[in-house]
Structure 1
Amino acid sequence: MRVLHTFKVYSLEREGGVQRAITALAAGMPEGDVGHIFFTLANDGPWTLQPADPNLSVHAVRRTATCCATDFSLHARRPFRALASDADIVHYHLPWPFVHLLDRQVPPGVPRVATYHADICRNPLLKRVYEPMMERFLRRLDAVIATSPVYARTSPVLQRLPEALVQVAPLGVEVRDDRGVDVEQARAELSARLGEGFMLFLGATRRYKGGPVAIEALRHTTATLVMAGECVDRDALEARARASGVADRVVFLDRVTEVEKWALLDLCRAMVMPSTLRSEAFGLALVEAGVARRPAITCEIGTGTSYVVRDGETGRVVPPNDARALGAAMEQLHTDPALAAALGRGGHERYRQHFTAAAYAGRMRRIYDQVIGQRGRAPASYSVNSSSDDDGTDQREEVHS
């Protein structure tokens, strides 16, 4: 079986939950079972990439423009059509308005599914114009996939779709087991610099992530906060820390490597993800906290964050935009290591039961089989490197050290 995934960016340009979910999906399936082709846009396209995973290949075309956080390309039509012609299923990852144009290139009879990753929250104009168009588009697909039962119940868009169309497949996390020595070295270096037992804010400080709330919460705890990830508004966050009188207890690390991320998770007391908008639909970093046996503190925003984290079982769930409640939860885990350890064990067990890459892959494989069966198609054998022609694109190979 060959599945063609489509999303606006790949991890080489910008890390994100969607990219990591696609990678985990490919990694969770047995080698040779399903070939996953990731079609995307890049500023330096066209190129193709063969990652370490034999089930995955990446094909990028040049990004032409970006408007209202939406990426477009004038070079996508023919390459996408060629890949779609060889696919058994086209899997869109939404929201991304450009897929409406790409969808016209899919041959008749090829099943199309979409993972609905998040409602549009940050751009009221785009929401008003695009949401009705997206809803009509979703109704024409073979399946629409929510990433948690909570999001399926609370998304206005998903609630308006036919019940039989919407399925649920919670995301999973790929955990590689070949970096133990590297993580230990990074752990030693970071421990010398940061110590241990801090609160960890992991990920880019986008507006919906609640970075300012996390800093304000330090007024209500004695803990230190380490903010690791692309800090798009660092000046504003540093100014807020100074104004709140907590600048001496905030450490900014900006972007960190995969190895450094796992070292930080090992060193921290708890993960903090105080997201404030439904743009935070799932929160893969919360799952990663469970992988590392660390509790997570998040907010109840009616999305998958409170599905991943069970209050009192795997971490704490507090109201959004409530610095006092967030600070109290941080202080509780900061001053009670035994409780933090118990919640961390609960988070690890929940990860093992629900959020492994294999569990995610199994859920998606059943959906793929179902929609192919409904269309009466027989999936073809695959090679992730096959394509209809040689277009002279840059051929890249991802090397993991």
Structure 2
Amino acid sequence: MALKKQYEMDRFWRDFEPTDESLSHLGGPSCGEASKSCFSITSESLLSTKNLNHYREIRGEQDWASWKTDCVPTVTSTSKPSFSLLMCPRKEITDADPKVFSRVQHYRMALSWIPIPKTKFKDVLTRMHVPSVFMDMVKRPRTVFKKLKSSVQGQPCEVYILSVDSILTQYTAMSVTYFPNTQQVFGLFLGYGSPDDVTNMTSKLFSNREFVDNPFVLISAFLELERKHRLKQVDDMIDGLRIKISKGQHIQKSDETSDDQPETFYELYNQVGVLRSQLNMWKLQLDKLLSACPHLPSFKTLGTEGFVLEPADYVTEIREIFEESAMRCENVMQATSLAFQKELAEVARSDSKVAIADAQQMKAIALLTMFFLPATAVAGFMDAPVYDWEGKGHYFWYIAGPLTGAVMLMYFVWTTVLKTR
């Protein structure tokens, strides 16, 4: 039996024609809702001296029509090297109650919201060569990396998919399709809409504008923004935990309820644990990306004056940063456990003091009882109508005194024996 060729053994995806079923979960602007802008970056816009922003904002019908003709080149055997990126915003989450809004950890359908009708977005996916498997991942985003191989118009292509779990803040998804024969790169980013994200992405691509036909330039730009968001989330959560511990807010007061604060200590502690797990998950996906790095060409950073950047070295550095962040989360969680143990020790110490005081009180009561019990018994006996004790009251002291002394002596002997054992 003849061995299969390498390209026959690789996983092929030819479903670049999105179906209505694959887009069934998508939702767009409702009636009366203002449309949001998408942003397009091309190799021409990065080299342009007229457009200082180096990106194109797309909002209305005319913008989308010009985007189709100007920003999305066709793929043929004679196509020239090109680069085209489209960034789409996420669904904004709003809530009238700030306490409830602050507790929204994730909104899984945020990437399923699109700024244009489904029919137009379907055309966008086809023109940007986005596989249907990417849209399936958007239904329930999770931290994952995939590399797929396929072909379009007889031209072989490689698809790189990166997605961030929706339980994380500012989660995103990326699909990059690369045609090695024609050196054409098509990228679709979901979950971007803030001016800072667009500016940072444009700045990163502009610095490497001579190498945008290298798919790793776009992948590294995605990883840079993800690193920025994740480090900020780690810093905010760790600082939040440390502040709450220093103020003693990790112990709920008796007159305080969980609704007194927008974000309780326990919720924040749980979020740090989730973040640590996701950072470890990111490390696993970066390991998968490392295996694909030998097939990606290197490039120089900051144009021709920069250093040569090897994809494997860059991914290794990002992986180490994520590993360090996971260790920081682990350290602050251990510090939290120590703080709880300290508080529990204080509570136990206070309880022991109360128990000792109660024992001393019980001992005092027992001593008083033993002291008066013999006299009470003698008085009850003399009061009974059995003997005539008229004029013989002094016998009470003759009997009660020695009996009380004997009882107290027995008590002290017994306690002494117990102490000497």
TM tier, smaller:
under 0.3
Where relative contact order (Cα < 8 A, 6+ residues apart) is larger, the structure is 1
More helix by share: 2
More strand by share: 1
* Greater Rg over alpha carbons, structure: 2
TM-score, normalisation: structure 1: 0.25
